[in-house]
Structure 1
Amino acid sequence: MIFKSSIKWAAFGGLILSLFSLFVHLLLAKYSSTDLVLYSALAGFSEDLNLNIQGRQVSGYKNLWKNVISLDALQPHANPRTEYSVPVEQNNGFIYAKVYGGFEKIRTTICDLVAISRLLNATLVIPEIQECTQSKGISSKFKSFSYLYDVDQFIDGLKNDINIISSLPPEFQKARKRKLFPIFRPKGSTSVSFYIKEVLPKLKKSKVIGFVIRGGSCLEAILPPSMAEYQRLRCRVAFHALQFRSEILALGQLMVKRLRVSGQHYIVFHPGLVRDTLAYHGCAQIFQDVHTELIQYRRKQMIKEGIIKEMDIDSHVRKANGSCPLMPEEVGLLLRAMGYPPNTRIYLAGSEMFGGQRVLIPLRAMFTNLVDCTSLCSKQELMSLVGPELDLPETHFQFPPTKTEKQLKEEWDKAGPRPRPLRPPPDRPIYQHEKEGWYGWVNEKEFEANPSLYELRMEAHRLLWAAVDYIVSVEADAFFPGFNNDGSGWPDFSSMIMGHRLYEMASARTYRPDRKYLVELLNSTKDSIYHPKRNWTLLIRAHLNKSMDEEGLRREFISSKPKSFLSHPIPECACTMVKRSNEAPFEGVDECPKWMVTDFKNKVQQNLREDNEVEEDNIDIMEGQSEQEDVRNGTIPSIEEDEEMDPND
């Protein structure tokens, strides 16, 4: 009897301890979620110092992060250089605009609108970002333009260029609702003469005109040499006046700080895997399963819209021409060939990743410290950008009507060899992701469903994630694009980052790869891609090193600038500290003012002193080590530790 009683008390005690343990774990999960989320990204950073056995960085590692000295002379200079009149209150009228598209289209369009407003001597109403206004129930604290950007900074930063107001005067608002004002839908190739001859007369007559912009820009990229001040105005908008709101800036700087913990460097990789761009170039066959069908469906839509003409295109031929992106696996091989060790910190930018996490598996296997905004920030930190939102109404899913065997057979015969996803087993409930989005319509219908309320809200959220990625990318020690300058004519994220880095610090390590040449090299060693010959590695290094200096800039000047001015804002928005030859990228670049030259010389002297101090410290460390210790410890350099081919040599 006593034995049974003791067993009961022991069982009761074990139950109490289990409940107490569960309670403690719930408290930890509630109050320390930030630390738990950041552990996966930052715990691996603690030992990521790239040190060899003697406690110093491996040979050639520092060369991977050095600036390109040959471009040090290029400095940002977007101030007016000729007589520049200040705007007056009495002008030709008001311009309002509705802007459609993603982050890069919005940013490019706003810069064009400012230039057009000055060209027409008009007052610009703060542009309306439709990705935000279309989403129902988003935060009332941040709406339209203020969802991304600082309105006060935008108005104040351009007060010497144009007049900007928050909304139309009351006497014009009613007329706008009745659609009494002329509306234009310009394209990216719209010339200056169109605005002077067609738009300006109607502006003077009606005093108000409207723009509806969907293509990502509304003014041609290349302007006549006499309009260089308008190009510099574009730079002042993009790189100075158009600042993100304080919450986005704070989180972006926090992420940069976390990436550089322990004084380490990081590289940003933007894959550029966007469905519209992939469909435009016909890159369907480089994917598998349903993703191929999604690209083909979008391509059919583009044919109906008159954007493209052909339907069936060989994706492998397009890939060989450099018209398809470098896949993450290929970029990983290129970075390893450059000498980046497996524990290099790589930040993955891009709010849209077509193909999902599956395409990143090989890259994650090669580089363990591959992170993005979701692994660097907690959910609370990311959602703080969104602000308070209303709950979306519940969607009641209705099962499709049952079909007879005859109907099913007819549909199957008509469908042809389509890689459709399998329906879930009948005993398993249908999950939410199978009711909405691409999975649902590909599985059940022949046409793409309209975006749901949830999808519209996610489109607005992607603008915020892209803004954070933009900050991290501009501040990065190195940047590698997977698909820049795609030739579609639409602004792309990678080209905008490369243009901003070129303007702000031309000597920063920004890779400008020639995809056609790299695909040839990758195909040449296809059978031994993970164990390439040394000659192949040297060819990769030589090309990527040259892509960061004058050779890469010359290629970008020819290919990128005609499509987007902000992707290559020199020579208009730059100046040089020293006299250079009159060849690209220094062709047409003015000499910097004397005050900038003085500041530049002081900065160079300070950097030289810091470099000398670092070299002296390294010499002191190396003097205490002997060749016998190296042999005893067996420190045989691998391919990642080869002496780097420095583009500055």
Structure 2
Amino acid sequence: MHMEISRSSSSSPVFHFRVSSPSISVYVLLLLGFSAVLFLFSQRQISEVDDKVLFSETRPAILEEQLWDSSSAHGFHPCVKPTRKYEATHTWDRYITVKSNGGLNQMRTGICDMVAVARIMNATLVIPQLDRRSFWQDSSTFADIFDEPYFIQSLQGDVRVVRQLPKELESAPRARKHFTSWASASYYEDLSQRIWKDYQVIHVPKSDSRLANNDLPIDIQKLRCRALYKALQFSSPIEELGKKLVERLRSHGRYIALHLRYEKDMLSFTGCTYGLNEVETEELRIMRENTNHWKMKKINSTEQRNEGFCPLTPKEVGIFLQSLGYPSSTWIYMASGEIFGGQTYLEDLRFRFPNLVFKDTIATSEELNKFASHATQSAALDYMISVESDVFVPSYSGNMARAVEGQRRFLGHRTTISPDRKGLVVLFDKIDNGELQEGPKLTELITQMHKFRRGAPRKRYGSLPGMKGRNRLRTEESFYENPFPECICGNKNSVNNI
């Protein structure tokens, strides 16, 4: 090919191509084609670079807000002061003694119920004895877990609280009374008129769920909140170490507190054996058979899981958090007891989130020694760290999950993500069957599924539809899970918008 250059009247260069043979024309076409491809490729690369720059500048800010934002209080704030009709407490010479049952949070809410019951029944409350026969076999006393002097002092205007019965009443006959579950204020008022005629001391062997969730006088509801969120503080050793551990976690940035209820007692109680081998399944069955107060002995594990009654497995939690968009660098604090199956079942979760830590990861052995044989005190540390976390995720809606969620709502509706276990099981099964893969589609499904399950302000749920009689009370949402509206207030617009 020869190229000749000539000039026109405009003095602009004109290129004349003279083709010398067919082979050369082919060569020219190939050269032009290659140039076009190169141009398009370059433009695509520039476009991709621009997209990456745009993504890095805008996307993380949006993602941060979606993942961590807890500014959903919308003007709501705690309001626990008594109304003007509230009268000061009196010094009553009749007493209620209590034996609190269950684990830490079951005892905590039960104690606060007893404070309110003592107020309704015009009685003095003796510092409750704690459960030493529960699954944890903890010998801790009230003063080991709670700040006893502060509890007594802070309730002075509400209920008289004493450490022990007067000596002259230690051997006096006591009315042993199993109070009705979810009872109304009128129940206790009627009981007072009858029982104080014959006795000066009532002993209550169970404290959990002794008061109704709804339809109680507003000042009784506010008293329950003052008792739980103000008076019932943890003891100094627990408070001090708890604050230290929160600070150590915060030194790495934001963190998730994960209450992974994949523990032996919960799996046995619920009969959930998905993913376990035959030996482990039998071990759980034997435990359930040998626990007298667990009424359900034969349980269909598949039905339990399909209805969302099983705790998520560690692997499922990993898929869940990853699909919500949390990066693998996220710090996750495990607010749990001993995980059933140990490290074997934690491997997948740890692979997805390497910064998975426990108490013994962030605390020294010397710091934990004093709590070593006291599971309830150890659980109090988990509770504190969970309440203060940037995001709280419970894998099961037990006493701990409900209590933490309630306090986080009380403190400003901090982000609490409650997994839709029934809906998630459907997605997890599709993954197992090869019908769905982890990726954008799963992320979209899980994110949409939990759009309104992040702890935003809402009124407490009532009983399930179709429930009648006292059974409906069992299905109401716990007062301590969501103390709105009695203990959380807002302006008129904020209330009308929920």
- TM superposition score category, shorter chain reference: 0.7 to 0.9
2:234 matched residue in structure 1: 244
Structure 1 residue 187 displacement after superposition? 5.3
Of the two structures, which has the highest relative contact order with CA contacts closer than 8 Å and spacing of 6 or more? 1
1:80 matched residue in structure 2: 82
1:266 matched to 2:229: no
Distance 1:504 1:365 in 2: 33
Does structure 1 conserve the Cα–Cα contact (< 8 Å) formed by 2:213 and 2:476? yes
Moved more, 339-348 or 128-137: 128-137
Distance 2:136 2:439 in 1: 53
Shift in CA distance, 536/285, structure 1 to aligned 2, threshold 3 Å: closer
1:123 matched residue in structure 2: 124
Distance 1:294 1:557 in 2: 37
Structure 1 residue 232 displacement after superposition? 1.3
2:391 matched residue in structure 1: 478
Distance 2:278 2:220 in 1: 47
1:520 matched to 2:434: no
Shift in CA distance, 554/136, structure 1 to aligned 2, threshold 3 Å: closer
Counterpart AA for 1:575:
C
Structure 1, gaps ≥5 residues long: 1-52, 387-457, 486-491, 587-649
Shift in CA distance, 352/499, structure 1 to aligned 2, threshold 3 Å: farther
- 1:283-336 deviation per Cα after TM superposition (whole angstroms, max 9, x unaligned): 13543344322322243346x64733xx43321221111111111111111111
Does structure 2 conserve the Cα–Cα contact (< 8 Å) formed by 1:75 and 1:577? no
Distance 1:573 1:233 in 2: 9
Structure 1 residue 71 displacement after superposition? 3.0
Structure 1 residue 189 displacement after superposition? 3.4
Counterpart AA for 1:504:
L
Does structure 2 conserve the Cα–Cα contact (< 8 Å) formed by 1:561 and 1:567? no
Counterpart AA for 1:519:
V
Distance 2:460 2:126 in 1: 38
Shift in CA distance, 558/497, structure 1 to aligned 2, threshold 3 Å: farther
Structure 1 residue 169 displacement after superposition? 0.6
Structure 1 residue 561 displacement after superposition? 7.7
2:367 matched residue in structure 1: 381
Shift in CA distance, 134/329, structure 1 to aligned 2, threshold 3 Å: closer
Shift in CA distance, 152/228, structure 1 to aligned 2, threshold 3 Å: same
Give secondary structure in 1 for the equivalent of 2:386.
helix
Counterpart AA for 1:537:
T
Structure 1 residue 498 displacement after superposition? 0.6
2:65 matched residue in structure 1: 63
1:155 matched residue in structure 2: 152
Structure 1 residue 105 displacement after superposition? 1.5
1:322 to 308, 312, 332: 308
2:452 to 525, 534, 546: 546
Percent identity of paired positions between Structure 1 and Structure 2: 31
Counterpart AA for 1:171:
E
Distance 1:167 1:320 in 2: 49
- 1:392-423 deviation per Cα after TM superposition (whole angstroms, max 9, x unaligned): xxxxxxxxxxxxxxxxxxxxxxxxxxxxxxxx
Distance 1:133 1:341 in 2: 38
1:307 matched residue in structure 2: 295
Shift in CA distance, 549/285, structure 1 to aligned 2, threshold 3 Å: closer
Q: How does 1:223-238 map to 2 (within 5 A)?
A: 223-225=214-216, 227-238=217-228
Does structure 1 conserve the Cα–Cα contact (< 8 Å) formed by 2:97 and 2:126? yes
Q: Count how many residue pairs are aligned between Structure 1 and Structure 2.
A: 436
1:466 matched to 2:375: no
1:571 matched residue in structure 2: 485
Distance 1:185 1:205 in 2: 17
Distance 1:543 1:237 in 2: 35
Structure 1 residue 465 displacement after superposition? 0.9
1:294 matched residue in structure 2: 283
2:267 matched residue in structure 1: 278
Distance 1:355 1:292 in 2: 11
Q: How does 1:90-109 map to 2 (within 5 A)?
A: 91=92, 93-109=94-110
Q: Which has the larger radius of gyration?
A: 2
- 1:448-486 deviation per Cα after TM superposition (whole angstroms, max 9, x unaligned): xxxxxxxxxx4xx1111100011100000001110015x
Distance 2:412 2:237 in 1: 25
1:362 matched to 2:344: no
2:334 to 348, 351, 354: 348
Distance 1:134 1:342 in 2: 34
- 1:344-374 deviation per Cα after TM superposition (whole angstroms, max 9, x unaligned): 1000002353343332221111110000111
Give secondary structure in 1 for the equivalent of 2:132.
helix
Distance 2:287 2:441 in 1: 41
Q: How does 1:527-542 map to 2 (within 5 A)?
A: 527=433, 531-542=437-448
- 1:503-525 deviation per Cα after TM superposition (whole angstroms, max 9, x unaligned): 1111x211122211121122223
Give secondary structure in 2 for the equivalent of 1:580.
helix
Give secondary structure in 2 for the equivalent of 1:221.
coil
Distance 1:344 1:529 in 2: 29
Give secondary structure in 2 for the equivalent of 1:325.
coil
Counterpart AA for 1:576:
G
Does structure 1 conserve the Cα–Cα contact (< 8 Å) formed by 2:460 and 2:483? no
1:255 matched residue in structure 2: 245
Shift in CA distance, 135/480, structure 1 to aligned 2, threshold 3 Å: closer
2:189 to 184, 193, 196: 196
Shift in CA distance, 381/234, structure 1 to aligned 2, threshold 3 Å: same
Counterpart AA for 1:251:
L
Does structure 1 conserve the Cα–Cα contact (< 8 Å) formed by 2:461 and 2:477? no
Counterpart AA for 2:210:
L
Distance 2:196 2:132 in 1: 27
1:112 matched residue in structure 2: 113
